[in-house]
Amino acid sequence: MYTPDANFESVAQHCLAMIFALARRIPGQDRRIRTGNFGKSGYDGIDLRGKTLGLVGFGRIGRRLLELVGPLDMHLLIYHPSNRDENLPRNTDKVKSVEAVLRGSDIVSLHCPLNEDNRGLINSRTIGLMKQGAFLINTARGGLVVETDLVDALRDQRLGGAALDVFEKEPPVKSNPLFTMDNVIATSHIAGSSDQSLHNMGRNSVDNVLAILRGESVDAKVLLNLTACPSVRITTNPHDQTN
Q: Is 116 a catalytic residue?
A: no
Active-site residue, selected from the candidate residues 86, 170, 203, 233: 170
Q: Is 189 a catalytic residue?
A: yes
Q: CA separation (Å) from 76 to 11, 59, 90, 137, 234?
A: 18, 15, 9, 15, 35
Q: Taking every pair of C-alpha atoms in the chain, what is the biggest distance, in angstroms?
A: 67
Render 36-99 in DSSP notation, one character per residue: T----TT------TT-EEEEE--SHHHHHHHHHTGGGT-EEEEE-TT-------TTEEE-S-HH
Q: CA separation (Å) from 134 to 46, 47, 53?
A: 11, 13, 10
Q: Is 147 a catalytic residue?
A: no
Vertex 26 angle, CA 24 and 28, to 5°? 115
**Active site (catalytic) residues:** 141, 170, 189
